Every structure is written in structure tokens, then in C-alpha cells.
Structure 1
């Protein structure tokens, strides 16, 4: 097996399980809270969607730290690793109080903004949930950073174990705390169980050999400079995620033109697709870590890593497309869909294959850009793709959900073509530098 491919798979599969476990906490909460009625379910759904937005904020310091730690590890530079960790904690410490305290103080307004059309009962429940979950953002952010540091050291298994620990505890604590305290109990369960996982993660950080060596190294410049490097590295990654999330929300509004049945089918099918798309993002994270590490050693292996990332992720995309095409009716039935909703959802899953395959390739290549400092260029491609996707979806939604699938595939084809051009330019620059070195 190709060495790059072997390393990508080794890094990616724990990341994938970790991502699945993270989604599981929202599912677990929803299952238990559903016994309290529709208002409680709406409150938890709002909180889950809000956390997705906050994840984009966390990526600024978590992903930025991952890339910088991996680069320092490749360069065998303990001072650079120490600076990366300091920058991550400094940025996290700057952002967390603003989000946690500001969110708590504005919890009622936030709930009203998202649930403006719901009755007062749902609004009150969402506000009560936010009263605990938003201060708990401090735990969520710290855990994201701990995971990011560990991934940078090449350890993707510990974040997976921590995610499994947190969600295993949530599975046990949810029924008890929800029975005692309702919606507040659901929020408290999530925060408490994540706190246990965070405590375990901090202990692992103290035992990590690379980080212990880095802690003993002399500081590589002031903390402010380290913070700025983390911000410059992580901000484009966060913006990329935010643009995609925003595009997905607007796409739901476009699908809504097709009616309630289409929205329900699309919502279920899109959640089913997470099983595949999380695998692509796992490969992306692995590619970012491996690329940053190899560049730290002084090697430029972007083309080789990119090819293997596309091979691994593309294979997963092709397998997912085939699986969805064959089993779509049974998958929709397993999620409780029936009648017209099941029919339209199955149609969407059978038409979405080309988009999934193209997305798998693009997402995987994104990791190479992130790991090599090319995230700003990748962000421009994402903005371009979203700008193409939404008008196309609006124009083609007259064809129903197959038209939406076509718009998704065409916009992703544009993004793949743009990334191919960028990669070709990178290759030309690398060959030009090599020629200059040989001439010198």
C-alpha cells in the first residue's frame, strides 16, 4: 500500500468515528427529550443547530492549532510546537468568554430569533436549555482545542476515545437528568459528560511526550505573535465551514418552494448523507495533518498526498453513492419516512451520487490546501461554488429534488475544476523552485 495512503487511513478512521460520536449526542438528546413533547424537541433541535454554528467558531483555534502543531512536529522544533499550543489556548481564552457570557446574557433573544414562529412554551424551553448549554460552550471549546492539539501530534485515536466516553456517559445520564429536570436536564447532561471527557483529555495532554518536550523548550516569541499565527491559519478554515453551513441553510429555503413533503424528504436524506460526508471530512483532516507534518520535515509531498486523499475519499464516495442508490427505500423506511416523503427522499438519494463523488474528491483535496497554508485559496473556491450552487438550485428546483441534485453536482464540478487549476499552478511553482535550486 502507498505510504501516504496508509498514513491517511490510519489518521482518518478514528476521526470518522469521533465525528459520528459527536453527532450521536444530539440524536441521543432528541430521542429522550421527545417524550416531553414537540416544544422540547424544538428546543433541543435549535440548540443542536446553534452548536453547529459554534463549531465553526471553534475551528479558528482548533484547526489552526492542529496544522501548526503538526508542522512543528515535522520540523522537530519543540519551540514551534510550544508556540502553536500557546497560540491555540490564547485564542480560545479570548473567544470563549465572549461567546459563553454573551450567549447566556442574550439567551432569550437568541431563542426568540430562531423560534420566532413557535409558541411561548417552545420559546421558554429553548431559553432554559440555552441557560445551561451556552455557558457550557467553555467546555465545548476547550474540548475542541484539546482534540486539535492531540491531532496535531499525530494522535487521532485519543479524540475518538474521548468522544466515545462523552457520548457513552450521555447515554447513561440523559434519561435520569431529563426525567428529573426536563429540558434543563438534557443540557446539564451534555455539559457534565463533556466535562468528564475534557478532564480526561487534559490528563492525556500532560502525559504526551511531544508536548512535554515542547513545554520545556524556550518560548518562540511573545504569546501575541503565537495567537496571531493561529488566527491567520485557522480563520480561513472556519470561514470555509461557515460559508458551507450558510449555503446549506439557504438551500433548505430553496427546497421549501417545492412544498412541505419535499422539505421533509430532503431533511431526512441530508442527515443520512452525513454518514458519507463525515468520512470525506475525516480524510480531509487526515490530509491536513499529514501535509503539515511532511512540510515541516522540509518535503513537498502535496501532489502525492493529494492523489492518495482523492483515491481514498473518492472510493468512499463511490461506495456511498452505490449503497444509497440500491438501498434508498429501506433507508428512508428505517428513519420512519413513509408515503410521498419516503418516495421523494429515495429519489434524492438515488440522484445525489454524482454530487457525492465530486464532493468526496474536493473535500479530500481541501485538506492538502489547509495543511500547506493554502486555506485562503480554498475559501475562495468554496465561495465561488456556493455562489454558483444557490442560483442553479433556484433555477432547477422546478425539476423537483432531482433538479436540486443536478445543481449540487454542477456547482461541485466547478469547485473541483477550480482546485485542479490551483494544484497545477502549485506544481508549476514547485518545479520552478526546484529548477532554481539545481541551477544555483
Structure 2
């Protein structure tokens, strides 16, 4: 007789699912840290350009992040229902939808590269614009493979397999790091370059090569490795509108959520761009500090989404709520420790990204502002992941709009631009956003209606 989810060791299950994703995010963070350090050594214009274009790329990824969420939630539900055949069908339909969307997005994104950068970052300096255009045109090539990675990785996590995405991420990030080491500053032997120094172009090439390899690895795992979810090259490719509709019902609100969020991030990035190159560099340091905090939270959020989704699929509603509460408690404790360390070592952390004393000082202040509210970031992400598993994504969209655009964008604009607080005002607005949304999600979670939504 199968042991009920509610009777298992909850904490052990959470850690078993969370630790591979935490390691995965740690690898991403470490490689991102090293890459940003390399770019930072090329000057403030370089780090500002790379940060701006990454914001734009993340905005493009929002649509596919929604499909990934839809795939994760639906697969988790189907696995909970013991319906492996339809779980495989869900993965196939997600990939079919991705193929059509990413071809259109990549082609249009390349054709309108210059107008897009002018539209979003028109006031940036000539040096920043030159670096931004160069970086954008190269990394756009790798975008389809990022999308493949998102969708297949999301399906595997929904099925409870967080280790395979971790292994792939490890390989991808090691490749990215090695190519960054080779291409950004070049390789010299006896005073002669055997590998040229490509600067910003080098880091763009490194990231793109790694992403392409990651996409192919995910496809190989899906079709040729024995995992919880697998497809076969012998499978007839078929379109199932009913399954697509089910994925879209979850994925579309998730895409809207990401569009709302990434749109807000992009608007904030544009505001910061009007404050000058130093402000852009400081903002990028703050965003990298955010990624350090997000490292463990990502793992716990995925664990909550998978465990809650499978419990709801098995109609074990009390177990679903217990998983969410336990995961939140663990995440808050872990992130509080990280927050204390970031507050104490804020200056040393900022110095990793820049050699400019002004940027280091301002960056350390921003890191300390962020470190204070990190426990709220844990609550916001883990509880929202639980609500997504329950299908309560429309509420998350509405609260993301209210919290992010009212506080991060509007309050940030008032403090940063109107009251003249600059990038400090922007980060205070970001902190308000985290606090408000975490409270909104917690109250919604406690109401309990999310457990009974049909997806």
C-alpha cells in the first residue's frame, strides 16, 4: 500500500527536491558573478550595457516562462493522478507551442534590434549603446535554446526530477565560464595572443554557446535518457488542442504575470538609464545581489510547486497546505542567514563587480537596503509558487501588477526621480514591492480557496 504524501517526512521531501535546484542556482549565480566581474573590468559602460540587454532578454523570455509554468503545474497534477501518458502529451504540446512562438520572436527581435534598443534605452551614452547592440545581436541567437531549456526543465521539475536540470545547468555554466575566461580578455603566451581578447563580444559568445549546448542537452535527455518523463523519436507528432488549452489556461496567466513583472523591471531599468552610467552600474550590482538571495529561494519555490501540485492532483489538500507552510519556514530561515552575511560583507561584495570607489560605495548601500527585507522575498516566492500549483495564477497576476507597478515603478519614480534620491530611491521602491506582495500572497494562502481550483 502506498504511503500518503501527508505521512511522509515533509522536511526530507522538501530538501530532496530543493537541494538540486539550489545547487543549480548557485552555479548560475557563481558563473553570473564571474561573468559580471569580467565585464565590470571592461568599464562602467560595458556592465551597464550588459545589464540593460539582459533585462530586455528576460522580458522576451516572459512568454515562455509562462509555458514552462503551465507545463510544470500540469505535469505535477498528472503525475499526482498517475496519468503518465497525458503527462508525456503535455510536454509534447508545450514544445510544439514553443517552436512557433520562438521562431517569430527571434526573427522579429533581430530585424528590429536597433529600434528596440532606441525605444527602451534611447538616452544611454554612445558607448553603452554600442556595447548593448553588439551584445544583444549575439545573445538573441541563443534565445530559442533558453526556451527549450525552460520548458523541458519545467516539465522534469513538475515530475519531481530536479536533479537532471541541475546536471545540465552545471555543464552549461562550466562551459560559459570557460569560454568567458578565454574570450573576454584573451589568452596570451610569451606576449602573443593565441586567443584574441573580444571584450563584451566575448562574454556574449560565451553565453550563447553555453545556451545552445544546454538546449540540445535537454532535448537529448527528453528523447534518449530514461527519466520520469520521456518522449521517443518514434512518437507521432500530433497536435492536441485540448491539452494545449489546459496548459494555456495555466500558462497564459503565468505569462501575463511575467510580462507584468518583466515590463516593470524594464521600466525601472529605463529610469535608471536616465540617471547615468554610474547609476546603471550600481543598479546592476543590486540586481546581482538579488540573484544571490534568489539562489536558495528558487529551489524551495520549485519544491513547493512540485509537492503542492502532486498533492492536489492526489486530492490530499491538507498535505498540500502543510508542504507550503513547511517550505516557507525553511526558506525564511535560510534566507535570513544569507541576508545577515550580505549586510556585513556588502562592501566586499560590491567590490567584486567594480573598481570604481563611487560605484563600490553606492553598491554597498544598495546591498544593505536589500539585505534587510530578504525574509519577505522568501515568503513572496514560495507562497506564490504554492498558489501557482493550485492554479490561482490570475490572483498572482493582479497582485504583481498592483505591487510591482504601484510600488517598484511608481514609488521608485517618485523617490528616485522627483525627490532626487537617484538609484537609492529606486531600491527603496523595490523593497516596498517585496513587502506588499509577500503580505498579499500570505493572506490569500491563508484563505485556502486556492486548494480547490480546477486546472
Q: How does 1:319-330 map to 2 (within 5 A)?
A: 319-330=337-348
Tell me if the contact between 1:385 and 1:414 (Cα under 8 Å) persists in the aligned partners.
yes
Please state whether the residue corresponding to 2:228 is helix, strand or coil: helix
Q: How does 1:176-255 map to 2 (within 5 A)?
A: 176=182, 179-180=195-196, 182=198, 185-205=202-222, 206-212=224-230, 223-251=240-268
**In the TM superposition, what whole-angstrom CA distance separates every residue of 1:219-250 from its partner, at most 9, and x where no partner exists?**
9x952222222222122223323333333444
1:82 aligns with 2:104: no
- Pick closer, same or farther for the CA change 1:266–1:236 going to 2, 3 Å: same
- In the other structure, the counterpart of 2:3 is none
Please state whether the residue corresponding to 2:86 is helix, strand or coil: helix
Per the TM alignment, residue 53 of structure 1 is displaced from its structure 2 partner at its CA by 1.8
**In the TM superposition, what whole-angstrom CA distance separates every residue of 1:351-380 from its partner, at most 9, and x where no partner exists?**
434522222112110111111111111221
**In the TM superposition, what whole-angstrom CA distance separates every residue of 1:371-411 from its partner, at most 9, and x where no partner exists?**
11111112212222124414444555559577666655544
Among 276, 297, 304, the alignment partner of 1:287 is 304
Between the aligned partners of 1:34 and 1:428, the Cα distance in structure 2 is 44
- In the other structure, the counterpart of 1:364 is 382
1:418 aligns with 2:434: no
- Pick closer, same or farther for the CA change 1:267–1:72 going to 2, 3 Å: same
Q: How does 1:91-130 map to 2 (within 5 A)?
A: 91-114=97-120, 116-117=122-123, 123=129, 126-130=132-136
Tell me if the contact between 1:139 and 1:191 (Cα under 8 Å) persists in the aligned partners.
no
- In the other structure, the counterpart of 1:278 is 295
Whichever structure has more helix as a proportion of its residues is 1
Between the aligned partners of 2:412 and 2:43, the Cα distance in structure 1 is 35
**TM-score after normalising by structure 1:** 0.82
- In the other structure, the counterpart of 1:18 is 24
**In the TM superposition, what whole-angstrom CA distance separates every residue of 1:91-140 from its partner, at most 9, and x where no partner exists?**
11121111122222223333444553456676555444444432332222
Please state whether the residue corresponding to 1:352 is helix, strand or coil: helix
Between the aligned partners of 2:125 and 2:435, the Cα distance in structure 1 is 43
Q: How does 1:334-345 map to 2 (within 5 A)?
A: 334-336=352-354, 339=357, 341-345=359-363
1:164 aligns with 2:186: no
Tell me if the contact between 1:86 and 1:223 (Cα under 8 Å) persists in the aligned partners.
no
Please state whether the residue corresponding to 1:136 is helix, strand or coil: helix
1:332 aligns with 2:350: yes
Q: How many residues align?
A: 429
Tell me if the contact between 1:86 and 1:226 (Cα under 8 Å) persists in the aligned partners.
no
Between the aligned partners of 2:273 and 2:116, the Cα distance in structure 1 is 23
Unaligned runs of 5+ in 1: 431-440
1:268 aligns with 2:285: yes
Per the TM alignment, residue 63 of structure 1 is displaced from its structure 2 partner at its CA by 1.9
Please state whether the residue corresponding to 1:11 is helix, strand or coil: helix
**TM-score after normalising by structure 2:** 0.80
Please state whether the residue corresponding to 2:297 is helix, strand or coil: helix
Between the aligned partners of 2:96 and 2:44, the Cα distance in structure 1 is 41
